[in-house]
Amino acid sequence: MIKNARLETQKLRNLSFLIYIMCFLGKRLVYSSMFFVTLQLKYHNSNRFMTETKKIRTALVSVFHKDGLNELLAKLNDEGVKFLSTGGTRQFIEELGYECGAVEDLTAYPSILGGRVKTLHPKVFGGILARRDNHADKAQMEQYDINPIDLVIVDLYPFEETVASGANQSDIIEKIDIGGISLIRAGAKNFNDVVIVPSKNEYGMLLDILKASGANTTLAQRKAFATRAFGVSSHYDTAIHAWFEANNA
């Protein structure tokens, strides 16, 4: 009986010691896990900040009104940003003394249909819409030789002004911008990677950022531009719809 009692007591002691060891190791594991989680969170937050801040390297410029563009182009040029453009906008940029690549050279297509089709091409829109952190997108960019476009500056055909001038229907129809509005929507959709300047009213916004941060933009700034962009797009389409409604009789 005494031996059995001693044996049971020893078993209880061994079990207690085992439980103590397990608890001790468990705490160590918990503390280690917390340490690694903290490190991962710090890395994630740091990495997130780095991916949210994007540098403008290439800008596509396609504007109707050129006034107010000079200072913005000068600052972009100082930051080493490369320009792409078409037609009159490209001529304007080159006359200011800046190099400017032709969209026609990029796409291997000239401006066609009386200027109705200039920028509507996968090499242009692929460069705008491609998600920089998407491996499949990056692979296709490499496959089809598509270069990223980080900044899109647009000023649309003056549809409302043309209507207000009393122009005939043919002239009004030709002032319905297709390529420009498509560029605005594409740039705004991909605000995670692209800055979209949808009208001359936003030139000053971008200029202030360039003066403060160089060619670097934050996600919040790009999203603010995207918000402006969809506002411009919505207003433009509303004006076109109103004209068609009024002239549908």
pLDDT, tens digit (0-9, with 9 covering 90-100), for 110-143: 888 887 888 889 999 999 999 999 999 999 999 9
Q: Please, are residues 156 and 175 in contact by the beta-carbon 8 Å criterion?
A: no
Digit-coded pLDDT (tens) for 183-231 = 999 999 999 999 999 999 999 999 999 999 999 999 999 999 999 999 9
Each domain of the chain, given as residue ranges in start order, spans 1-52, 54-246
Radius of gyration of the chain (CA): 30
Joined tokens for residue 157:
């055909």
Q: Give every CB contact of residue 124 below 8 A, 6+ residues apart in sequence.
A: 60, 103, 106, 107, 149, 183
**Strand, helix or coil at 139?**
helix
Digit-coded pLDDT (tens) for 212-224 = 999 999 999 999 9
68, 245, 61, 249: which is closest to 163 by C-alpha? 245
Separation in Å, CA 147 to CA 54, 58, 137, 184, 203: 16, 9, 11, 18, 24
Q: Note the pLDDT of residue 109.
A: 82
Q: Note the pLDDT of residue 117.
A: 83
Digit-coded pLDDT (tens) for 36-62 = 444 454 444 444 444 589 999 999 999
Q: Please, are residues 150 and 127 in contact by the beta-carbon 8 Å criterion?
A: no
What's the CATH architecture for 54-246?
A: 3-Layer(aba) Sandwich (3.40)
**Which residue type does 144 have?**
Y
Q: What is the pTM of this model?
A: 0.78
Q: 216-217 and 54-55 as β-strands: parallel, antiparallel, unpaired?
A: antiparallel
Q: Give percent of the chain above pLDDT 70.
A: 79
